[in-house]
């Protein structure tokens, strides 16, 4: 999943694209709560040790709107 934004421009002005890891670390450093759904990590085979420190892991049932059916069925 390489989502490279090199060459991003607004009109004639080149701009620095997003760097998700850098940007999320900056948010966490500012003490802004960031959450990830642990169930989604498990479904994708991603271990918790591969995530950015300081991001809170929550269960799908704890996420906003968890009363909705998210299985798509």
Whether the predicted pLDDT of 70 surpasses 90: no
Q: What domain range includes position 37?
A: 25-63
Domain count, the chain: 1
Residue 29: inside a domain: yes
> In the structure, what pLDDT confidence band is assigned to residue 19 with cuts at 50, 70 and 90?
confident
Residue 41: inside a domain: yes
Helix (H), strand (E), coil (C) string for the chain:
CCCCCCCCEECCEECCCCCHHHHHHHHHHCCCCCEEEHHHHHHCCCCHHHCCCCCEEECHHHCCCCCCCCCCC
What is the reported pLDDT for 41? 93
Whether the predicted pLDDT of 68 surpasses 80: no
């Amino acid at each position: 999943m390489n989502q490279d934004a090199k060459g991003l421009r607004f009109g004639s002005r080149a701009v620095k694209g997003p760097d998700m890891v850098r940007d999320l670390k900056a948010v966490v450093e500012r003490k802004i709560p960031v959450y990830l759904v642990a169930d989604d990590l498990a479904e994708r085979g991603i271990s918790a040790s591969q995530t950015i420190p300081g991001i809170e892991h929550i269960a799908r049932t704890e996420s906003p709107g968890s009363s909705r059916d998210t299985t798509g069925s």
